[in-house]
Structure 1
Amino acid sequence: MPEPQPLASLPVSLPTDWQALLAPYRWRAQTEGCSDAAVFRLEAIGQNTLFLKTERMHAHAELADEETRLRWLAAQGLACPAVMASHFQSERGWLLLSAVAGNNIYSSALPAAQAVPLIAHALKALHQVTAANCPFDHSAAVRITHAQARLQAGLVLLDDVDEENQGLTAEQLFQKLVSLQPKSEDMVVTHGDACLPNFMAENGTFTGYIDCGRLGVADRYQDIALALRDIHADFGSAYVPLFMEHYGLATLDEQRIAFYTLLDEFF
């Protein structure tokens, strides 16, 4: 792990009001995770560790969405970073967050036999939150519209798609997505980006959700599909049944998995 650097060398500017508050801190860049924002771990002797997230503001920026969702999630009594401060200008946004205990499951040394049940139970707990109380609509139709807007804005990297989608044009990729849209949805509160780096654990216990900018009411397979994709890639297909057992799935809906995995290509 690289040594922490003085705050003065931070590669992005800080809001003026934050400079004195954060002066004692040193920073490390965070390279793991699924967020588009730049993320920095801030450490100071005798102070709580903080995380600074910053993003250039544009029509599809998600940092303001993350603040709103973190505040809502915390109000439901679920573990996530606390919003310590936020600052948004026309060109850039900043979010200052508390640290969640432990390490993310992707980078931790937690064995698959322990990690996979933690992920399953974390998603199950989130999916049991009353969806009617959640104000964030992430239904398939809404997300398809958002995916098309991101594609038209040039934010979808076609050279970074999954192997089965390589060689498709942008329009072909989008048409494939539309053709896979589920005819019905089992709506729950979803994380929206349920990849392994977004689950935190300490001493074998789940400690919180991070990178929550895409949290919203969607089909439960929004999370199941991405979690299974990462479990398959990082732990092996042999652990998929273990996830199913602990989440409570007797069978898998392969069409919904295909749709939500493809949808993730656009975000």
Structure 2
Amino acid sequence: MVHSLSQLPEAWRERLGGHAVQDIMIGRSAASVHRLTAADGEVFFVKTEAVSPFADLPGEAARLRWLGTSGIPCPIVIDEITEEARHWLLLSAVPGSNLVEANLPPEDIVEIVAQALHRLHSLEPGSCPFDHRVVARIELARTRVEAGLVDEDDFDAERLGTPIADLIRRLEKGRPAIEDMVVAHGDACLPNLIADRGIFSGFVDCGRLGVSDRYQDLALAQHSIRYNLGSPWDEIFLIRYGGDIDRDCLAWFRLLDEFF
């Protein structure tokens, strides 16, 4: 956690002097996130985490730089530093509020999510250098289990108490036979989509962005909408997104998410 500007990398302190520091608690990332606001309203975001084989920030910086060239709005990477065994990322602010905090009616929220994901999924997958295909994600899930990084107490209610070895077997047995590849956000929950005055203004927390099955995003978006808005808005979202919906794929990608 960053409690004062003196804890920031020395190279940033002069530039960010006078900014007030606010911890951002929403989200499940291992990185801590801080909003820095100046008296004149200028806003930056700082993300930091310990250096480790599972650190997300170097990969997130690379993904944001790539996404920024695609025409999809997202934070600008102003600087990144690794020092004293910590990664640091300095980002611009995306204007607006995340879709949990935005004061918008449910029908507007589900429409924003559907349109934003359509826009992202329309990018050419062959242009994206980040591989989040099912084979790679299952292997990473196994690695995270072996490293003790999977929080079994955070499982969805229907899986609480299920041995993690059983869930891995279900994951491998039920994997989709065919993948519908798109550029996916990877964690398309309401806190990670920003809207300004009712209009989508950008994606944040893009550390899982990559080439993946579109159900990676549909499953997590539907679950987040159900959690935050209730039924029937989760189903209305799927209708707004369009196409035939494979319920087995939705369930499988929800299971996969338990490992991340």
Q: TM-score, normalised by structure 1?
A: 0.93
Match of 2:146 among 126, 143, 152: 152
The residue that corresponds to 1:260 in the other structure is 253
The aligned length equals 259
The residue that corresponds to 1:79 in the other structure is 73
1:28 maps onto 2:15 in alignment: no
Please, which runs of 5 or more residues in structure 2 have no aligned partner?
none
Deviates more, 1:237-246 or 1:191-200: 237-246
Post-superposition offset of 1:9: 3.8
The residue that corresponds to 1:185 in the other structure is 179
Q: Give the 4+ runs in structure 1 shifted more than 2 A.
A: 8-13, 33-36
Spell out, residue by residue over 1:189-237, the C-alpha distance to the aligned partner (whole angstroms, 9 max, x if none): 0000011100000111111000000000000000000000111122122
1:246 maps onto 2:243 in alignment: no
Which amino acid in structure 2 is aligned with residue 19 of structure 1? R
1:233 maps onto 2:227 in alignment: yes
Match of 1:69 among 63, 66, 78: 63
1:223 maps onto 2:213 in alignment: no
The residue that corresponds to 2:120 in the other structure is 126
Deviates more, 1:157-166 or 1:40-49: 40-49
Secondary structure of 1:168 counterpart: coil
* Preserved contact between residue 180 and residue 258 of structure 1 (Cα < 8 Å): no
Percent sequence identity is 43
Deviates more, 1:251-260 or 1:147-156: 251-260
Deviates more, 1:114-123 or 1:38-47: 38-47
Q: For 1:246 and 1:12, locate their aligned partners in 2 and report how far apart those are by CA, in whole Å.
A: 47
* Preserved contact between residue 138 and residue 217 of structure 1 (Cα < 8 Å): yes
Spell out, residue by residue over 1:84-128, the C-alpha distance to the aligned partner (whole angstroms, 9 max, x if none): 110023611000000001100012221111000000000000000
Post-superposition offset of 1:12: 8.3
Which amino acid in structure 2 is aligned with residue 85 of structure 1? D
Post-superposition offset of 1:47: 5.4
Q: 1:12 to 1:224 in 2, by over 3 A?
A: farther
The residue that corresponds to 1:5 in the other structure is none
Which amino acid in structure 2 is aligned with residue 253 of structure 1? D
Deviates more, 1:9-18 or 1:235-244: 9-18
* Preserved contact between residue 44 and residue 93 of structure 2 (Cα < 8 Å): yes
1:164 maps onto 2:164 in alignment: no
Please, which runs of 5 or more residues in structure 1 have no aligned partner?
1-7
Superposition RMSD in Å: 1.5
